[in-house]
Chain A
Amino acid sequence: MKRTTVFTAFLLLITWLIPCKTFAGWPIGKYRDLVVPTFSYYHQTDRFDGQDNVIKGAPGTSFSSFTANIFFGYGLTRKLDLMVTLPYLYQQNKIGPGNTISNQGPGDLSVGLSYNLVNFNYVRFLSVQVSGIAPMYTVTSGRSALGLGSYGSEVKLMFCGNLPATVLDKGYFNTELSYRRYYSAQGPDQVSITASVGYPVTKHNQVSLEVLLFRSFSSDKAFNANYFAERDFSFFKPALNFGHQFTRRFSVFLGGFYVPFGVNTGVGYGGSLLAVLKL
């Protein structure tokens, strides 16, 4: 009887977790592949000044970005995963009526390894990820619209798993603390905190709420409407996502975000559509 109960409990748990696992702090699993193509849209017309005040954008000015991102993950061992991310950007920076600067091309390539430090009864996972970043675009005089134009590295601590039963009977969370450094005279150094909570509303559908607090430090304090190329700024970004699992190997997530608070950055909003393919 006891054995049956244990067996049932673990199967239910797995059922709840499987649709939730995307590419956060969960180990991918030995020999498993994960491919996540993402399409996202970002737009801003107004901006925050250095004191978090909203400054209306001049008429006819705005910044928009369309990003196609491909993430590939492979479980090298039960604890060690290889992760590669490459974005392709298309940007429109309207600097005045009838005056638009467009840029497109690959962005920063990120290649990293994620290692599961501790698993708490295979229910929660504490992992660390170390990545290297390389610009995949041409940099002219140290600048580019497609990124910061220098090599960088990132270390990320991730803790994720199912929510304690005392909080919710099902559902999951993911928290990430990351530090990124770009190797150029003006940096920047970037720190971010991400926390997300997901809840399966039905067997195949889930909603999740994610908050991101991002801070980028640099001696270059200039505002740049193109936040891909900006160096000193911060923002708070909540996002709401809806996910649907079509099959065991294919899920789609649709989400929207807004930047309600920020310093020296745009009042951005947008959305993303991503597919999770477990091969």
Chain B
Amino acid sequence: MKKIGYLSLITLIVLFASAIKAAAKQEDAAQETGDVVLKAIPESKDAIFKNNEEVKYKLQLENNTNEWQEGRVSYIITTDEGKKMGTDSLHFTLKGSGTKELQIKIPPKATGFYRINFMVNLPQYDDTVRKVFGVNPDKISSQLHKPADFDAFWRRSRELLEKVPPKYRVLERRDLSTDEKRVYSVEMHSFGNLVIRGWLVVPTDGKNFPVHYRVPGYVVTLKPNMDNDDFIAFDLNVRGNGNSTDVINVGTDNYCLVNVEDKEKYIYRGVYMDCIRGLDFLWSHANLGIDTTKIFVEGGSQGGSLALITAALDKRVKVLTMQVPLYADIHDNMSISASYKSQVFPFKVFRKYNTMHPGFTWEKFFRTFDYFDPQNFAPMVKCPVLMGIGLLDQFCPPRCSMALFNHISSSNKEYVCVPNSTHEVNYNYFMFQNLWLREKFRIP
């Protein structure tokens, strides 16, 4: 009996230890290299602090050489528009293969996001670690630049869309279907009578499923989503994306510039309406097992904004999840991006166009884009919302995403900050999103 007891105990301990080790391994997956590796770990796991508390970082220094090292570790804090807010420097010594931990404390900061660059300087080695932290992001505010006829413009757009007969075509693709999933290619006519296409994947194991309606990132091809067992997956390629390029097929450099000087013809007018047409399709095809009362719309980057706009313009969307929403708070995005050493999308493209078209002033740009800034749609969103952002994102600066988020009317909204991500979120976010969706739809 004792032997069995000990055996069980050892099994239990081994199981505990291996599981904990595996969990730790997952978190430590990204190994860094260099003579002296610096890790900057915010005291708050998501690098979000309150405006009355000190901002604390733990700096872990690891000497990867066998030699004695002596140098300085310093940091510089700037606002997200590049205004210098503080700097400090610490002396350190490290034995060969040694490690050291330092603490830094930064006085409380006002609401906003801040860049903090940590520099390690040795006589023969330099390295910089770039981080961003936020202070009270849910208090960030921004000015809405909503044109007076914004609502009328979109009402008119919807009326024009409704005049286009959808002429749905649904074709079962046996070549792509499996025992567990039935795949359909779907086609419909949308705004301006353009043909757009998408993929509908229906699990065979059950009936009447909620819908995961995914809208695409910037010129991204969506394919049948075969990984979802508990939802019908509907992936729509809006005009100019994936298999919807019959008329518009311009590539990433010009996509967001198509008719940018005319709000009536700007590509995103049709794109936003394509998303609504996709919803029309779902609503009119309950016979395929679609639970039209449980449609959630999701997307990342451009898709994040398209998802938000779909939820804003159409109450048939019951839940919204978005990641790193592109173009949010476009005015502040412009100011923030002006401080970048090298330009990134989207203002890299807009600035280039502005330079090459002297008559195209920024005033003209905003005269169009204010009709399309996702932020202006945010107050119309009433359903539960989950948003994920990467704090190191330069395409969609965190301040802009949070400004958009704070303009959302729904009180049932949550956000997740991923401190070490750029224009993406992480695995952990998607795990949470899955649980969050199950909670909202009461799915087991």
The stretch from B3-11, B64-72, B109-117 touching chain A is B3-11
Interface residues on B, range: 35 or more
CB distance from A197 to the nearest CB of B (A): 8
Report the Cα distance A168→B430, complex, angstroms: 23
Q: Are A234 and B1 in contact (CB under 8 A)?
A: yes
Which residue among B228, B427, B439 has the maximum number of chain A CB atoms within 10 Å of its CB?
A: B427
Q: Given contacts A29-B435, A122-B435, A175-B16, are A10 and B430 in contact (CB under 8 A)?
A: yes
Residue in B closest to A204 when the chains form the complex, CB atoms: B205
**B247 at interface (Cβ–Cβ under 8 A)?**
no
CA distance A193 to B26 in the complex (A): 27
New A-B contacts (4) at CB < 8 Å, excluding given A122-B428, A164-B22, A203-B180 = A6-B427, A14-B434, A32-B444, A173-B15
CA gap between A250 and B444 in the complex, in Å = 10
A213 to B13, CA, bound (A): 14
Give every chain B residue within 8 A of A175 (Cβ-Cβ): 12, 15-16
Question: A120-B23, A167-B18 are known contacts. Are A248 and B431 too (CB-CB below 8 A)?
Answer: no
18 contacts between A and B (CB under 8 A): A8-B227, A11-B227, A15-B229, A32-B444, A78-B439, A121-B431, A122-B428, A122-B435, A124-B23, A164-B19, A165-B22, A166-B22, A177-B12, A213-B9, A236-B4, A249-B444, A261-B4, A278-B444
Across the interface, A123 reaches (CB within 8 A) one of B23, B205, B228, namely B23
* CB closest chain-A residue, reference B432: A122
Q: Assess whether A164 is in contact with B11, with CB atoms less than 8 Å apart.
A: no
A66 to B6, CA, bound (A): 31
B442 within 8 A of A: yes
Interface residues of chain A, those whose CB is within 8 Å of chain B, are: 2-3, 6-15, 18, 29-32, 52, 78, 120-124, 159, 161, 163-167, 173, 175, 177, 193, 195, 197, 203, 211, 213, 234, 236, 247-249, 261-263, 278-279
Establish whether residues A159 and B19, one from each chain, have CB atoms under 8 Å apart when the complex forms: yes
B22 to chain A, nearest CB (A): 3
**In the complex, are the beta carbons of A31 and B439 less than 8 A apart?**
yes
B8–A195 CB distance below 8 A: yes
CB distance B431 to A123 under 8 Å? yes
Q: Are B11 and A211 in contact (CB under 8 A)?
A: yes
Q: Are B9 and A193 in contact (CB under 8 A)?
A: yes
Q: How far is the CB of A138 from chain B (nearest CB, A)?
A: 35
Q: Are A262 and B8 in contact (CB under 8 A)?
A: no
Are A248 and B18 closer than 8 Å at their CB atoms?
no
Binding site secondary structure of chain B: helix
Q: Give the residues from 320 to 348 in chain B that come closer than 8 angstroms, CB to CB, to chain A.
A: none
Instruction: Return the contact of A6 from the options B18, B430, B442 (Cβ within 8 A).
Output: B430
**With A193-B8, A211-B11, A278-B444 as contacts: A121 and B1 at CB distance below 8 Å:** no
Q: How far, in angstroms, from A84 to B19 measured CA to CA in the complex?
A: 29
In the complex, the chain B residue whose C-beta lies closest to that of A7 is B430
Nearest CB in chain B to that of A52: its residue: B1
What's the least CB distance linking B221 to chain A, in Å? 11
Q: How far is the CB of A275 from chain B (nearest CB, A)?
A: 13
**In-complex Cβ contact of A262 among B1, B16, B21, B27 (8 A):** B1
A17 to B205, CA, bound (A): 17
Q: How far, in angstroms, from A211 to B11 measured CA to CA in the complex?
A: 10
A248 x B5 contact (CB < 8 A):
no
B426 in contact (CB, < 8 A):
yes
Indicate which residue in B16, B21, B300, B428 contacts A121 across the interface (CB closer than 8 Å): B428
CA distance A146 to B169 in the complex (A): 66
* Cα distance A6–B418 in the bound complex, in angstroms: 15
B12 and A193 form a contact (CB under 8 A): yes
* Interface residue? B424 (CB, 8 A): yes
A13 to B434, CA, bound (A): 11
Report the nearest A residue to B9, measured CB to CB.
Answer: A193
Min distance, Cβ B233 to any Cβ of chain A, angstroms: 10
B222 to chain A: closest residue by CB: A4
Asked if residues B1 and A263 are in contact (CB atoms below 8 Å), the reply is yes
User: What residue of chain A has the Cβ atom nearest to residue B6's Cβ?
Assistant: A213
Given contacts A10-B427, A124-B23, contact A159 B439 (CB under 8 A): no
Closest residue on chain B to residue A12 by CB atoms:
B227
Contacts of B428 in A (CB 8 A): 121-122
Question: Is B227 a contact partner of A7 (Cβ separation < 8 A)?
Answer: yes
Contact check, B229 vs A195: say whether CB atoms are below 8 A apart: no
Q: Report whether B15 and A247 are in contact in the complex, using a CB–CB cutoff of 8 Å.
A: no
B230 touches A (CB below 8 Å): yes
User: Separation in Å of the B421 CB from the closest CB of chain A?
Assistant: 11
Bound complex: CA A123 to CA B426 (Å): 14
Tell me whether A121 and B439 are in contact (CB under 8 A): no
Beta-carbon contact of B444 and A10 below 8 Å: no
Contact with A along B18-47 (1 / 0, CB 8 A): 111111001100000000000000000000
Which residues of chain A are within 8 angstroms of B442 by Cβ–Cβ distance? 31-32
Contact B1 A236 (CB under 8 A): yes
Contacts of A12 in B (CB 8 A): 227
Counting chain A CB atoms within 10 Å of each CB, the highest count among B26, B430, B434 belongs to B430
Q: How far is the CA of A278 from the CA of B439 in the complex (A)?
A: 13
Q: State in angstroms the CA–CA spacing of A203 and B180 once bound together.
A: 10
Please state if B18 and A164 are interface contacts (CB–CB under 8 Å).
yes
Write the nearest CB–CB distance from A108 to chain B, whole angstroms: 25
Name which residue of chain B comes closest to A235, CB basis: B1
Contacts of B1 in A (CB 8 A): 52, 234, 236, 261-263
Question: Which residue from chain B places its CB closest to the CB of A177 in the assembled complex?
Answer: B12
